[in-house]
Chain A
């Protein structure tokens, strides 16, 4: 399966997260099955390609941003950004839901704690669901 360039996905980051156009234009987006990759280099046509930059989106019924790419561009997001308290951060980074209301539109949001971009959350009517992948979830033994 080939990686084919489709930069229309830039629009998603501009509209959903308010990323300035001049920032998102630095990234070229490549479709590969249901995954969309964000890449800042020059594309090299070769075989046996496994990854092109960082996986940015997964497309099924909806478009879902990845924690990895939100951590790359999160500092440029001006819309649908949720800031957590210390206690909420711990819950979120363990992959759990935080009950309550947050000032953002329902759907996928960028989740921050201080200067740290933690990743992707799903805001529903009842709270914020952590979308942090298992590999990034925090363990109790960590500092």
Chain B
């Protein structure tokens, strides 16, 4: 049993098509990019990168391109990247923003925003109007966030450094993205873990995520929308947090559709049942369309 399987074997009973799942988790994850249409059209950027030897495969009619091959070691080693014409972002990681569906002039809080992939994606959709308050607590990650916001020419973002679990953000928001810090199992294809996590680690993450969700609910306008997402598979960090949101914070769970294949949530895990939320949350698995993993739930006040 290799390290990938040691980490993920516990999910054998909840991940559909488990053998293919494990196999995909052992293979390197392809790069995807999103064109920054604040600065350049999709057509022009694709043409420029293609002329340089990139082979890009567009996903459906979306602004999402898989890099099938490239003439450089890293997809950021181009003039176009330095000019802010695109952002290297996994297709699955684009989905929480699509679920949140920000509109121009919205007032949006991105509670754990670094390094800024979703912040800049929202700014692009909002055409640099409205307001995004992008927050993170880690100073190193904040630097990445600020650098990406600057590189992409995103002018509707205020960046703060606060503890998302307890801080006041000064106002209430139409929409809140809580892309919560998590155990990150959905990104194992990109980076192996520093150590194998234990049950108590998942429980500690779950506790912190619940505190963040509680603070998110406090900052949401009536009828506002929260998207809770993680890039991990553990139900304690996913369905359990959403169950807390519904049963303790009185948030309403809303079913959503995504333009990628996604499975319904887990119904039971280690004796805890999630019947009340399982049908309305979504899990994106890496073996479906060759991406990272993602969990997404849409909640309303």
Q: Contact at A44–B84, with CB atoms within 8 Å?
A: no
Q: How large is the interface on B (under 10, 10 to 19, 20 to 34, 35 or more residues)?
A: 35 or more
- Are B160 and A48 in touch, CB under 8 angstroms? yes
Closest Cβ neighbor of A118 among chain B residues: B83
Number of residue pairs across A and B with beta carbons under 8 Å? 104
Which chain B residue shows the least CB distance to A132? B82
Of the candidate stretches B88-96, B163-171, B243-251, B255-263, the one touching chain A is: B163-171
Q: Which of B66-121 contact A (CB under 8 A)?
A: 71-73, 77-79, 82-84, 107
* Complexed CA–CA distance, A51 and B100 (Å): 24
CB-CB nearest in chain A for B51: A143
- Known contacts A54-B150, A54-B154, A71-B83: A42-B131 contact under CB 8 Å: yes
Which secondary structure dominates chain B's binding surface?
loop
Given the interface pairs A44-B171, A142-B79, the reply to whether A68 lies near B132 with Cβ below 8 Å is no
A39 to B133, CA, bound (A): 12
Shortest Cβ gap from A122 to chain B (Å): 20
Given A46-B133, A46-B168, A136-B82, are A40 and B156 also a contact pair (CB < 8 Å)?
yes
- In the bound assembly, the distance between CA atoms of A117 and B53 in angstroms comes to 23
Known contacts A41-B131, A71-B84, A72-B153; decide if A138 and B158 are in contact (CB<8 Å).
Answer: no
CA separation between A32 and B129, bound complex, in Å? 22
Q: Which of B77, B133, B146 contacts A141 (CB 8 A)?
A: B77
The residue of chain B having its C-beta at the shortest distance from the C-beta of A117 within the complex is B83
Residues of B whose CB lies within 8 Å of any CB of A are 39, 44, 52-53, 71-73, 77-79, 82-84, 107, 128-133, 142, 146-147, 149-151, 153-162, 167-171
**Other CB < 8 Å A-B pairs besides A51-B157, A54-B149, A118-B83, 4 of them?**
A39-B156, A52-B158, A135-B147, A142-B78
